[in-house]
Amino acid sequence: MENYFILLELPFDLPESDTNKISEAISKKQAQWSRDQSNPVKKAKASEYLAALEDIKKVMLDPTARKQEAAKAKQIKASKAKEVKVTHPKYGNHKVYAYEDGFVAGNKDAKEHGNIVDVFDSTKEYCRWLDLQILEKGGSITELKRQVPLTIQEAFQYEGKRIQKIDYRADFYYRDKNGTVVVEDVKGYDQKNGKYIQTEAFRLKWKLLKSKYPDYHFVLY
């Protein structure tokens, strides 16, 4: 069973202690899980959560038990965001490599941990992936994927030559509670200017994507 703070999407770094807000979060989740029982894909998990409802209330409405649950949530987050060794970061970014045994590092030479199964362009991107996985487990988002290609322009012929199609690869792709497709791109942030760091090529692609996929919600993170 998932951690209750994570499951209810309640803050745990500074743990939520307002019992009214906690009860409201439980009620919202109960309603969501009841609806999910009619969904063949979500039915099993929804039934599991509903069966644990009394225990969730018992833990989350008791100050001592709630404090212990918040501590466990922090441990879960910390264990996933294992210490990443930074070596010679370029422009403030460095790649993060995830190995098949769960080990994560800032280099690709940790062969004792098996093969590399995932690569992230920055620590920020890796941490955002962890956050989104928690949201998916809690039921806030669905269909979470990484590096999803979106076509901006199909391939075409011009003066007898084939022009290759133009694709954009989304850092993260998922559906929110309303079923809207959300496309996220993780960018560095310039604190002085208060703006995300973007190349001219990226700005152009971002505009074209919004035109081609008007029903999608595009977000810089």
**Phi then psi dihedrals of residue 80, to 5 deg:** -75, -40
Q: Which two tokens stand for residue 97?
A: 């490599």
Are the beta carbons of 67 and 18 closer than 8 angstroms? Answer: no
Distance CA 53, CA 118 (A): 35
CA 149 to chain centre: 17
pLDDT at 52: 94
Q: Which residues of the chain have pLDDT under 70?
A: 80-93
Q: What is the pLDDT of residues 48-69, one digit of tens each?
A: 999 999 999 999 999 999 999 9
Domain parsing of the chain, residue ranges = 4-80, 81-120, 137-220
